[in-house]
Amino acid sequence: MLWTEEMFGVKKPIIAMLHLDALPGDPMFKHDGDMDMVVEHAGADLHALQEGGVDGIIFSNEFSLPYQRKMDMVTPAAMAYVIGCLRSEIKVPFGVDAISDGQACLELAAAVKAQYVRGTFSGVYVGDGGLYDNDFSHLLRRKAALHLDKLKMLYFINPESDRNLDIRPLSDIAKSTIAKAAPDGLCISANAAGQDVDDALIASVKEANEDIVVLCNTGCRVNTVERKLSTADAAVVGTTFKAGGVFENRVDVNRVKEFMDVVYKYRETL
């Protein structure tokens, strides 16, 4: 049995992204220094996602654009504040993603007792933000120092919007990463958030690494989720759940329910 089945209690779990508003220090923060609206919006999305039936939720600082490789302390502090305000209302296994900063991600997880993290923990990439690399030797030692033995780590191996400078086939990168870092899951992405992941890419990674959890990380929609779950072990879903399927909008509970109804019917065939 995969660990995802134990944690979420279902096969092929759907993990929803909960995109926090821009936070203090972020260029797009608009609430005059007041975090109340950030918490209110996050709470509304949390309730919509849970009412809609998702199996897990990842809190991320999605609107902290442009993302920092080394976050100012205020960002994970603000994320922890929001999660703390909502902690009693979280009914599903939850994780965190402090985008582009692996150490901040681990430290945030320790502070809020997250059960899993998603992030860019390995590899060397180039993109609009320049060239950046990730030292998983340091991150795994930090994880050990924080006594996060039970924390599951979901690794991006082809991050959204950036280009991996490692030219090996993705299945080979996955195999090497597994051997060196023992990730708990591998997230397979398209070139940008919301774009459809190549089914063959997911399949190539899963076929070469059968014992690892492989997640479809972008582009799952009502009309594609069955196909994605036929090869992936789980899916991370964000924009699809927003009103009108628009990234900037709030979560629409009816879109969540429609999506999850398809997932429920698919699970009956497993």
Mean pLDDT, all residues of the chain: 95
Predicted confidence at residue 10, as pLDDT, reads 99
pLDDT in tens, 68-101: 999 999 999 999 999 999 999 999 999 999 999 9
Domains and their CATH numbers in the chain: 3-267 (3.20.20.110)
Percent of the chain with pLDDT over 70: 99
Q: Give the model's confidence band at 21: pLDDT under 50 very low, under 70 low, under 90 confident, else very high.
A: very high
Using the predicted structure, report yes or no on whether residue 196 has a pLDDT greater than 90.
no
Q: Give the model's confidence band at 219: pLDDT under 50 very low, under 70 low, under 90 confident, else very high.
A: confident
d(CA 30, CA 21): 9
Predicted confidence at residue 12, as pLDDT, reads 98
Using the 8-state DSSP alphabet, how is residue 28 labeled?
T
d(CA 32, CA 53): 34
Using the predicted structure, report yes or no on whether residue 231 has a pLDDT greater than 90.
yes
Mean pLDDT (whole number) for 144-153: 99
Determine phi and psi for 54, rounding to 5 degrees. Answer: -65, 160
